[in-house]
Every structure is written in structure tokens, then in C-alpha cells.
Amino acid sequence: MNAECVVWTTASALFAVGAGFIVLRRQLVAMIIGVELMVNAANILIVFTAARRGDPAGLAVALLTLAAAAAEVVVGLSLIMSMRRGEDEVPETQTLRGMAG
């Protein structure tokens, strides 16, 4: 079994599922989850390549990406929560329709 193929397939599958979240699910929080999945898939690949090449820069990038993605989740979620207009509404992509254009 080829290690590279396995790693690549895993990362691709995770990425595709993350893309599926964004395309298919209704709620905005689901989109955040999708982004998280995609970032993680990329991270796996970066760490694998760093380990393969013995390049510390790769690991450093993976770490920084981790931190940046965390910050992004914070901002995104706070935006979503501030969008709530009434008590009954869940922020969905449909509610963004008025903001289109």
C-alpha cells in the first residue's frame, strides 16, 4: 500500500466532504463546519509533505494555519450570531437573500 496514495485519498475525501457541506447544507453554521473540514484536510497534506521532505517550515505552516483557522471560526460564528433577527430564526443562507446584489 502506497503511503502517499493513502494520505492523498484521505485528504481529498475530507476536502470533498467539506465542499459538500458548503454546497448542500442550508445553515450557515454548517458552512463553518465545512470550512473547518477543508482546512484540516489541507493540514494533513502539509504535515505529510513536511515529514517527507524533512522541512521544518512545513510543520510551522501547519501550526500557523491551525491558529488562523481558529481565529476565523471565532469571527465567522460571531458574525452569524449577530445576524439573528428574531428568536425564531436560524441563520440560513435563505435569509441572506436580501443581501444579494
Partner 1 sequence: MTETFAVCGGLAVLFAAAALFQKTLYGAAMCLLGVLLETAVLFILLGSPLLGFLQVLVYAGAVMVLVVIAILASPPKLSGRWAELNVPRPVAWLAPLAAFAGLMAAGQSLGGVHALPQAGPALERAMARLLFGPWALATEAVGVLVLIASLSVLKEDA
Partner 2 sequence: MSELPVWAFVPLAAPVAALTVGFFLTHRVRPSATHLPILLSCSAVAAAALALLGGALGGASWSGRLFTWIAVGSMRVDFGLLYDPLTVSVLAMVSVVGLLIHVYASAYMAHDRGFSPFFLYFHMFFFMMIGLLTSDNYLQLYLFWEGVGLASFLLIGFWSHKATARAAAWKAFLTNRVGDVGFLLAILLMFRWAGTTRFADVFAAPGLISPDRAFIVGALLFWAACAKSAQFPLYVWLPDAMEGPTPVSALMHAATMVTAGVFLLARSYPLLERSPGLLAFIALIGGITAVWGAVGAIFRKDLKRVLAYSTVSHLGLMTLGLGAGGVFPAVFHLIVHGFFKAALFLCAGNVIHGLHDSLGGAPSATVEDAGGLGRDMPLTFAAFTLAALSLAGVPPLGGFWSKELVLSGAFAFPGLAVLGMLTAMGSSLYIGRLLFLTFLGERSWQRGKDAHAHEVSPAMWVPVMLLAAGGAVAGLFAAPLAHLLGAAHGHPSHLVTALSLTAMAAGAVLAWVCADGAPAWEPTWRARFPAFAEAVESDWGWQPFCHSLARGVGHGAAFLGGVVEGALWDPGTEDLARSIPAAGELLGRRARGLLNDYAWWMTAGAAALALMVTTCL
Contact footprint for partner 2 (CB under 8 A): 19, 22-24, 26, 31, 93-94, 96-97, 99-101
Instruction: Report the SS3 class of residue 18.
Output: helix
Phi, psi of 92 (to 5 degrees): -115, 170
* Least separation in angstroms between CB 61 and partner 1: 9
* Least separation in angstroms between CB 96 and partner 1: 11
Query: How many other CB atoms are there within 10 angstroms of residue 56's CB atom?
Result: 9
* Least separation in angstroms between CB 77 and partner 2: 16
* Least separation in angstroms between CB 51 and partner 2: 25
Q: Which of 37, 33, 29 is nearest to 13 (CA)?
A: 37
User: Does the protein bind partner 1 through residue 96 (CB under 8 A)?
Assistant: no
Build a one-symbol-per-residue string for 23-42: x at contacts with partner 1 by CB under 8 A, - elsewhere. xxxxx-xx-xx--xx--x--
Distance between CA 22 and CA 34 in Å, rounded? Answer: 6
Distance between CA 19 and CA 38 in Å, rounded? Answer: 7
Build a one-symbol-per-residue string for 43-82: x at contacts with partner 1 by CB under 8 A, - elsewhere. xx--xx-xxx-x-xx-xx-xxx-xxxxxxxxxx-xxxxxx
